[in-house]
Structure 1
Amino acid sequence: MGRPSKYPAEFQSEAVRLVLTTDKAMAEVARDLGINYKTLGAWVRKEREQKTLDALPGALSEHERLELKRLRKEIADLKVERDILRKAAAYFAKETTR
């Protein structure tokens, strides 16, 4: 997971809105706000990708995507735990038959 952003979410969304709704260039908006234009570009790219994903038929919401990601990680963790317990049970079953 990446490091937390030093810019609040409201600031990011407002900066993206300025780029998308005004005639100013992205570099100019970034300079006016005192941020790196590459940082602003990444925010704008992320917003555009999000809009593309949301436009797809049957698309999941951002909350649903985060929940799906969390659940997939939990399933992977549970499979690892299950395999460990299965091996431990086999080991102890073999020990008791000696």
Structure 2
Amino acid sequence: MTETRRKFDQDFKDGAVRIVEETGRSIVQVARELGINAGTLANWVNMARQRRRAGNDDLDEGERAELVRLRKENAELQMRCDVLKRGLALWVRDSAIR
């Protein structure tokens, strides 16, 4: 008896991996819902994690530039937030002393 091997396009694989990562549900649970083998889904998740670790997330130049800009903006906003927190703490302390 021969088995036909199912083929999945990359969009399906990426979507399945996103479900696992974004919902926090187990690989077995998601695989069961999608009707695929849990080992297959585990392989896809592991490959996606390895690609991210290797930095091969296939970002084009525009996306990379935006990522750099957003990281800088995020760092600046965190600094502003820290300054405001410190200012508020000083204001509360001065108010309590009076």
TM-score (norm 1): 0.50
Partner of 2:50: 49
Q: 1:37 to 1:21 in 2, by over 3 A?
A: same
Matched-pair identity in %: 35
In 1, the alpha carbon distance for the partners of 2:42 and 2:24 equals: 15
Q: Name the SS of the counterpart of 2:50 in structure 1.
A: helix
Which 4+ runs in 1 deviate beyond 4 A? none
How many residue pairs align between the two structures? 54
Q: Which runs of 5+ in 2 are unaligned?
A: 59-98
In 2, the alpha carbon distance for the partners of 1:46 and 1:23 equals: 17
Partner of 2:18: 17
Q: Which runs of 5+ in 1 are unaligned?
A: 55-59, 63-98
Partner of 2:76: none
Residue 23 of structure 1: CA displacement?
2.3
User: 1:28-59 deviations in whole A, cap 9, x for unaligned?
Assistant: 000000000000000000000000000xxxxx
TM-score (norm 2): 0.50
Partner of 1:79: none
Q: Root-mean-square deviation (CA), in Å?
A: 2.1
